[in-house]
Amino acid sequence: MEQLVDNDTERKEILKRYRNLLKAYKSPLSKGDKRLIRLAFNMALEAHREMRRKSGEPYIYHPIAVAQITAEEIGLGTTSIVAALLHDVVEDTDITLEDIERTFGKKISSIIDGLTKISGVFDQNSTSLQAENFRKMLLTLSDDVRVILIKLADRLHNMRTLESMSREKQLKIASETNYLYAPLAHRLGLYVIKTELEDLALKYTEPEIYKTIARKLEQTRKDRTKFINEFSEPIKESLGKNGFRFEIKGRPKSIYSIWNKMKKQDVPFEEIYDLFAIRIIIDTAEEKEKSDCWKVYSIVTDFYHPNPDRLRDWISIPKANGYESLHTTVMGPGGKWVEVQIRSKRMDEIAEKGYAAHWKYKDTANAGNENALDEWLHKIREMLENPDANALDFIDDFKLNLFAEEIFVFTPKGEIKTLPVNSTCLDFAFEIHSALGTRCIGAKVNHKLVPLSYKLQSGDQIEIITSAKQNPREEWLGFIVTAKAKSKIKAALKEEKRKTAEEGKNIIEKLFRQHKISFNKGNINEILSCYRIPSSMDLFYRIAIGAIDLKNLEDFNTSGGQIKIKVQKKDEHASLEQLVKEIRGTSGSLVIGDNLNKINYQLSECCTPIAGDDVFGFITDNEGILIHRVNCPKAIQLMSNFSFRIVKAKWTSQKEIIFLAGIRITGLDNMGVVNNITKIISSELKVNIRSINIESNDGMFEGTIMLFVHDTEHLNKLIRKLTALKGILTVSRIDNN
């Protein structure tokens, strides 16, 4: 080993790489900075002296490369370069944090501490541990964003050198990259790094697809270049005449994004028309960039017609991650739509390297709420600090928000707020303040009254209406979008339940006093086991809402301050968990119409399931099990939010049960048609009608018929018969009441 490291060519190579790193630094290095970097390099070199990477190369190549990415591709300064060089020493060598603090000071040692804590984060196999660690990682993000930036550089270099890893490791590392690191890079505005991470992840997870697309991109490059030149020619000339200093690039889309488009639109490579975007970067003073970008827009559209629906102005209102640019899609030569991105050099730098590069680090204090990144970090901190948030829920909620497209809306005073697309009035209320969210009963959007769940559009102005009587509700979780609102509502619901449970506790205490029973753990446990309830909090809650009635303790022997179960309660009082276990345990699913297991169920009124429908059971708190159709809109919400309450359900083959179902009929209003309808239903098919309601209008009629059928087969037969009638236009089952 010793000899290998001291090998002359290798030492030369190490020094060469080190000098390259120094060159990557943009502004000239001060003497002090140079000394610090040299010190860090020497320490890392010495510490990793006997270590090698999987590829067989000296280990020091890795920290040098990470430092290089940190400087060159993210644009960070000396502190980060030093931390990057030392990022693996505390974890992998004998050097301690104290050693680092002694030589480099508190700041650098705290960054390395953060890096050490989150490294190995994903070595655990348990998902919840990963989630907890991801949360930790984001916490450090709000301490010092450089920790995350260096971590991203570390991950990027590991992805670039993934070749030498085992297949199993490649897959694991690549999917984590896709799951967490790429979204994080995206959210921080590090577009170039995000794109490379995604492409590399695809290369290892779907090597065949990656290779095919890369090959096709290469094959079509010549044609593309020709097209781009032809397209740019008149614009270049005009920009020159107008005295602009500029650069025009034709940038191919990433392999990953092309693959995503192919999947989404279900088309082959050949049919993806926007394989590239044209980017015009102008060199102009900061105070003139906005008007200059619009001048360029005007020049571009002198030659090509813009699509008015595709104009995106992120100069007047930058994205939350700091992205600024003016996008338009114009009709190019040969009838092809071409996306044109117009921006200044400064904007381009932010777009490529992220806001972080412009993030000013002050040793003294936080810069305050000066910019969007700051605001974002503030939001993350708020979410993380919520002690009730479950780590796995958190990570899912959070990830949704990482990828979401944004809309911007206004407060009544005209203040602008950015929200993820599909946000509702309630999200907006929580965005302003959680106290506003929890009391929200509705809103006025553009002066019109709308419900809480109303989906906002860019440009909406929202006034929240509150009531002191309002409390957060479980169903809110079904339409809320932002992670912040979600975690606040969940915490509030939990708190609400705790308060209600308090009332239940008072009821028991009073009851115990009447019967001279001491309120202690043993006696409470006796009740818990009688009703098969897992925790005293659950018991108190159920008593408070009336789901359990202790009936003056008549099921218990009470003497000497103690209670003992007289009769073990039957299934009807079994707890939720017990119920689920029983159903899942015996047959694996609930059999509807089977009287053998006496489980209390009802058909849900919102989607009126009938035998033969795809259904599932939802275990409610008070009404037993509700049967929903799988395609019920409510079901999707239930399944995603309360999967633990869902049980499989299927129908028995018995035919004697009947179900209520509804059909909607439209047709031409001529005499006799209604007569024919009822004739078919009641006499021919012998179906009982419960109600029939037909309205005519301008020679057309529309009707709703509620009737009793045995199963889907029965209903479909009826629908087919009715459709065949003369004068009938449509017959459809009513999916939702």
Residues labelled as active-site residues: 91-92
- Is the torsion defined by CA of 448, 453, 454, 456 positive or negative? positive
In sequence order, the β-bridge partners of residue 342 are 280, 326
Q: How many Å apart are CA 116 and CA 131, to the nearest integer?
A: 17
What does DSSP assign to residue 26? S
Q: Which is nearer to Mn ion, 117 or 664 (CB)?
A: 117
Q: What is the CA radius of gyration of the chain?
A: 33
Instruction: Look up residue 289 and give its two tokens.
Output: 């960039």
Region of 110 (left: φ > 0; alpha: ψ -120 to 50; beta: rest) is alpha
Q: Which is nearer to Mn ion, 154 or 460 (CB)?
A: 154
Looking at residue 720, its amino acid is R
Q: How far is the CB of 120 from Mn ion (least distance, A)?
A: 10
Q: How far is the CB of 26 from Mn ion (least distance, A)?
A: 24
In sequence order, the β-bridge partners of residue 339 are 277, 329
Q: Which is nearer to Mn ion, 153 or 687 (CB)?
A: 153
Contact by Cβ (8 Å): 616, 648:
yes
Q: How far is the CB of 144 from Mn ion (least distance, A)?
A: 18
Q: How far is the CB of 51 from Mn ion (least distance, A)?
A: 11
Q: How far is the CB of 456 from Mn ion (least distance, A)?
A: 42
Q: Which is nearer to Mn ion, 184 or 351 (CB)?
A: 184
Q: How many Å apart are CA 591 and CA 237, to the nearest integer?
A: 75
Q: Is 439 helix (H, G, I), strand (E, B) or coil?
A: coil
Q: Which residue is nearest to Mn ion (CB)?
A: 154
Report DSSP letters for 565-620, one per residue. ESS---GGG--HHHHHHHHHHHTSSEEET--SS---EEE-TTT---TTS-EEEEE-
Pairing label, strands 601-603, 440-445: unpaired
Q: Is 419 helix (H, G, I), strand (E, B) or coil?
A: strand
Contact by Cβ (8 Å): 158, 376:
no
Q: How many Å apart are CA 480 and CA 491, to the nearest integer?
A: 14
Q: Which is nearer to Mn ion, 120 or 672 (CB)?
A: 120
Contacts of 291 (CB under 8 A, 6+ apart): none
Q: Which is nearer to Mn ion, 159 or 722 (CB)?
A: 159
SS (H, E, C) 646-677: EEEEEECCCCCCCEEEEEEEEEECCCCHHHHH
Q: How far is the CB of 180 from Mn ion (least distance, A)?
A: 16
Instruction: Look up residue 651 and give its two tokens.
Output: 């129908």
Q: Which is nearer to Mn ion, 88 or 198 (CB)?
A: 88
Query: By the criterion CB under 5 A, which residues form the site for Mn ion?
Result: 88, 154
Q: How far is the CB of 618 from Mn ion (least distance, A)?
A: 47
